[in-house]
Amino acid sequence: AKITFITSDNESITLEGSSGSVMALAVENGVKGIDGDCGGVCSCATCHVHVSPEDMKKTGTASEIEADMLELDDNADEFSRLCCQLEIGDHLDGVVLRVAK
C-alpha cells in the first residue's frame, strides 16, 4: 500500500509498505515527527497523525485505549490516530496522514 505523510514542514513523503505498522514504516524511512518511542504499544503518542477526513473510512477510528492516549494530547482531534495502531494492508492504499505537532 502507498501511504503519504505530510510533515510539519509541509514536506510530502510517499512510502510503499506491505506489512507491519504505519509507525514502523515511517520510522524506518526517517519521517520527521514520527518517533515511535514506545515501540508501537500505544503508550507514547509520538506516532500521532491526523488522517485526511476522506480517508477515515480506510483507517477507521481510534480504539478505546488509543482514544484514551490521544485524550492526553492537546493537538488531538476527531481525525487523530496513533499510527502504530494502523496495520499496513491494501485497505490503506492511498491514505494521506498529516504528522501531528
Chain contacts with ligand FES (rule: CB under 6 A):
23, 36-38, 40, 42-47, 82, 84
Please name the residues in contact with 76: beta carbons below 8 A apart, sequence gap of 6 or more.
48, 70, 100
Instruction: Name the residue number minimizing CB distance to ligand FES.
Output: 84
Under a CB-based contact definition with an 8 Å cutoff, are residues 62 and 39 in contact? no
Nearer to ligand FES, 84 or 99 (CB): 84
Q: Which is nearer to ligand FES, 29 or 54 (CB)?
A: 29
**25 vs 54, beta carbon nearer ligand FES:** 25
In terms of Cβ atoms closer than 10 Å to its own Cβ (0-12, 13-18, 19+), residue 99 is buried
Report the amino acid identity of residue 54: E
Q: How far is the CB of 60 from ligand FES (least distance, A)?
A: 16
